[in-house]
Amino acid sequence: MAEHLVRDTKLDDFALAFTFAWVNSDSRMLITVSTRCGLRKRFLASILKPNLRYYSISPNPVPLAYTAVIPCNGNKTDGAVVILHGLFGSKRNFESLCKAFGRDLNLPIYALDLRNHGSSPHVTPMNYESMAADVLHFIQLMKLKDVSLLGHSMGGKVAMTLALESPSPLELSNLIISDIAPTQASISPSFLRYLMAMSKIEDPAMNIKTREAAGKILAAEEKDLSVRQFLLTNLMLPDPIDTSRTTVKFQIPIPIIMKSISALGSFPLRPDGHQWLRRTLVVKGARSSYIDDSHIPLFKAFFPNAEFATLDTGHWVHSERPNEFKKLMVDFILQGKRVPE
């Protein structure tokens, strides 16, 4: 089984060791894999196969799947930009922007799948401290330097937690937060409705086999087609080869996320004793309620050097105004970064 995974991932340039558990209907196997991971200059790859279920059995950081855009000069580490998606998202949400950032910055760009999302392991606990530890582990494992860390929504809270709590923050130079505040609050009830509908969709008793049928169930909870389409990016259709899966299933572990929803709505830190003194950019969507004027003092308490920008968008700032968002990011990063030759 381990040899099969290594062969399929086609990874071949640097040593990467990790431990995970593969779980199927009748057995549990603990596998330690040491492999070599190759990064090409326009390379997109995941370190885990997306059609298998992975569950961590260790409280240690887990290996995160990622995509990478490496500049033609071969630089894989210096001045790296690391991008973190929001709840229900994945690294795929930033594929186009990763390529654009790579062209404009001529720096290595990495978009990660956070735990319990995309192709990364399904694992508990799911809280901001654990997710921040995963990202720090990735940065250190890849030996990234002078990092600009960009996080949207849930990913923004992960990024803030890492910057504020990391025992070794020297790898980070710039922090970019997209439409989320470091507040301790309840998550929007809409997310709970989405999860309940998604749980219903993947219930084998419902016998849902198509994206259209799943979309009809979601439509009862969410009228916005773009939101439904976003949620359905996580849907896996029945596998014609795997006869044990004859109905749809979501790639994200719905039960884990449902149990973690309270922690995801909150924020683990308070300003007293926690500050990030380096460069910070906070980007707000003008038509989004995730950041408002009342949050500015809280941002300033955590991030005294924070700058603020607003784009005419809702919550999905990077997808609604990609060119304007890209310009903000590129200008901010280049203003404070020594770009490697």
Residues marked as catalytic: 153, 315
pTM: 0.82
Cα dihedral 7/99/226/191 (nearest 10): 70
> What CATH number is given to the structural domain containing 178?
3.40.50.1820
Q: How many angstroms separate the CA atoms of 316 and 314, rounded?
A: 6
Q: Per DSSP, what are the bridge partners of residue 312?
A: none
What total number of domains does the chain contain?
2
- Would you state the structure tokens that stand for residue 191, as one six-digit string? 């997310």
CA distances from 316 to 84, 209, 247, 297, 298 (A): 13, 29, 30, 23, 22
Q: Are 127 and 89 in the same domain?
A: yes
Scanning the structure block, which residue is given the tokens 């009342």? 294
Range of the domain at 296: 40-185+269-335
| Of 273, 98, 77, 277, residue with least CA distance to 174 | 277
Scanning the structure block, which residue is given the tokens 């060119």? 323
Which among 263, 296, 317 is the end of a domain? 263
- Would you state the structure tokens that stand for residue 172, as one six-digit string? 């980070």
Q: Are 130 and 152 in the same domain?
A: yes
Instruction: Identify the segments of the chain with pLDDT beneath 70.
Output: 1-59, 167-170, 337-341
**178-205: pLDDT as tens digits:** 999 999 888 888 899 999 999 999 999 9
Q: Does residue 4 sit within a domain?
A: no
Q: How many CA atoms are closer than 13 Å to the CA of 116, on its beta-carbon side?
A: 23
**3-57: pLDDT as tens digits:** 222 222 222 332 233 333 333 322 222 222 222 233 332 223 333 333 344 443 3
